[in-house]
Amino acid sequence: MDIKYVSFDIDGVLVNSENRLKLCLKSNNEVDWDCFLDCRKLFMDSPKTRNINLLKLLRNRGFGIIIVTGRRESMRKCTIDQLRSFGVNEFEDLFMRPMIIPNRTRFISLG
């Protein structure tokens, strides 16, 4: 039997983070990412129940669940705690943004 997987994002898909986003907008409407990606502000979020119910339905039908997010790896524990508090208890893996982004080689045209 083939195992099929479905992936879900967190912010905007499983979690309504609009209140946290509004709080973390700068005066020029750019996001203050250090503010938005602060575990102490996750209490402002709410579950997106319809999407969480879909996740559970797919899980119950045998699909593997993969969760992906732009949240930093340093937020892993508070993110898992938040997901569990919203009823997302079972998933195969959670992929997060690395804490350190490696330097990229830059190519310079010399002529």
Q: What is the CATH number of the domain that holds 75?
A: 3.40.50.1000
62 belongs to a structural domain? yes
pLDDT digits (tens, 9 = 90+) for 43-101: 999 999 999 999 999 999 999 999 999 999 999 999 999 999 999 999 999 999 987 65
110 belongs to a structural domain? no
Structural domain including 47 reads: 5-97
78 belongs to a structural domain? yes
Q: How far apart are CA 68 and CA 35, in angstroms?
A: 20
61 belongs to a structural domain? yes
SS3 22: helix
111 belongs to a structural domain? no
Q: Based on the structure, what is the number of domains in the chain? A: 1
* Position 1 pLDDT exceeds 60: no
105 belongs to a structural domain? no
54 belongs to a structural domain? yes
